[in-house]
Homo-oligomer: A and B are copies of this chain.
Amino acid sequence: MSRAVIGVDLGGTNMRTALLNHDGDVLERTREKTPVAEGYRQVIEKLSECIERQRCRARDRGMEVAAIGVGAPGVIHAAQGIVLTSPNFPDWKNVPLKQLLEQKLHIPVYVENDANAAALGEQWRGAGKGIDSMILLTLGTGVGGGIILEGRIWRGADGTAGEVGHMTILPEGRTCGCGNRGCLEMYASARGIVMSYHDRKAVLGLPGPDASVTAESVFREAQAGGDVALSVMGEMGRFLGIGIANLINIFNPEMIVIGGGVKEAWSLFIDAAVREIKARAFAYPAERTRIVPSVLGDDAGMIGAGSVALGS
């Protein structure tokens, strides 16, 4: 029987699993709603069912699942597989996710922070193949980050490293959910884009907040040539460029990968971002650093979690 692993992306909205072969090809998928409100035991129960379904499919293919990798949001103690705390799962405090899943599944389980898992996925099978030093920025509802140095995730002393979305970009800027002001996340995320759009309209004396505005509607308006939306996306690019310039000066990385839903608006922000990087970062490392869109999209987390299971 050939060897397979299962990679899990455990999100606050959906839990997704992928059956992966040794090369990281996705053979089978599952996708279910995450029953966050029912508490962590129910979440783990439902996840176990998804995983068992994948194991049956593996057997049908003549494969054996050797291990499970789970990418989970929040502060993770990776070595012990414990979710210390998680913004998306309010009741998860010191949940021994590895241990609970192993008791149910009788198979080795490895747990990794979701942004780190996505970075590992891009490095293994996506934009960062063969790259040793790379930073992934996921521009979604918020801005997540995963830092790969010498081919490995930099987790920091407690596993909380990589919060590049919470770099201060504007000291007196918008108040962020993390308690800080002016975080990159407040300007370069989908939520930030919607806030900038409302702010810009207010400055211009145009009609006020409209609940139907989403990041996608701003992208569409900008693509259609709308001035307000175009200026919002230009500003978003400039703030993103400030953040990336900081990362270039600090890390001198080979590559910065930009993922998340906002990546779909690439052409609306990348020129402004690159101009800002050229104006701000040291020329030598700035020329070296390739700034590229993610390749794997939503699959990055599952594939990266699978790579953890394979590598461990």
How many subunits of this chain does the assembly comprise? 2
Residues in B whose Cβ lies below 8 Å from that of A133: 156-157
A141 contacts the other chain (CB 8 A): no
Render A277-312 as a binary contact track against B, CB cut-off 8 A, 1 for contact. 001111111001100000000000000000000000
Contact of A285 with B179 at beta-carbon distance under 8 Å, contacts A149-B149, A169-B168, A250-B167 already known = no
Q: Is the CB of B157 within 8 A of A253?
A: yes
Q: Is the CB of B161 within 8 A of A251?
A: yes
Output the nearest chain B residue to A166 by Cβ-Cβ distance: B249
Q: Is the CB of B147 within 8 A of A250?
A: yes
Residues in B whose Cβ lies below 8 Å from that of A285: 156-158, 160-161
Q: Is the CB of A154 within 8 A of B246?
A: no
How many angstroms between the C-alpha atoms of A157 and B180 in the bound complex? 31
A20 contacts the other chain (CB 8 A): no
A170 contacts the other chain (CB 8 A): yes
A181 contacts the other chain (CB 8 A): yes
A133, A169, A252: most-surrounded residue (chain B CB, <10 A): A252
Q: Is the CB of B282 within 8 A of A156?
A: no
Within 8 A of B (CB), among A148-183: 149, 154-164, 166-171, 178-181
How many angstroms between the C-alpha atoms of A158 and B283 in the bound complex? 12
Q: Is the CB of A160 within 8 A of B242?
A: no
A15 contacts the other chain (CB 8 A): no
How many angstroms between the C-alpha atoms of A163 and B280 in the bound complex? 12
Residues in B whose Cβ lies below 8 Å from that of A245: 168, 180
Output the nearest chain B residue to A131 by Cβ-Cβ distance: B157
Residues in B whose Cβ lies below 8 Å from that of A251: 154, 156, 161
Nearest CB in chain B: distance from A87 CB, A: 11
Residues in B whose Cβ lies below 8 Å from that of A179: 279-280, 283
A75 contacts the other chain (CB 8 A): yes
Q: Is the CB of A162 within 8 A of B280?
A: no
Output the nearest chain B residue to A172 by Cβ-Cβ distance: B170
Contact of A163 with B75 at beta-carbon distance under 8 Å, contacts A156-B253, A253-B156 already known = no
Q: Determine which of B155, B159, B168, B249 lies in contact with A242 in the assembled complex, contact meaning CB atoms within 8 Å.
A: B168
Residues in B whose Cβ lies below 8 Å from that of A170: 171
Q: Determine which of B75, B161, B289 lies in contact with A250 in the assembled complex, contact meaning CB atoms within 8 Å.
A: B161
A–B complex contacts, Cβ < 8 Å, 17 sampled: A85-B284, A156-B252, A157-B253, A157-B254, A157-B285, A157-B288, A163-B249, A166-B249, A167-B246, A168-B242, A168-B245, A170-B171, A171-B242, A178-B282, A179-B280, A180-B245, A246-B246
Residues in A lying within 8 Å of B, measured CB to CB: 75, 84-85, 132-133, 145, 147, 149, 154-164, 166-171, 178-181, 242, 245-246, 249-254, 279-285, 288-289
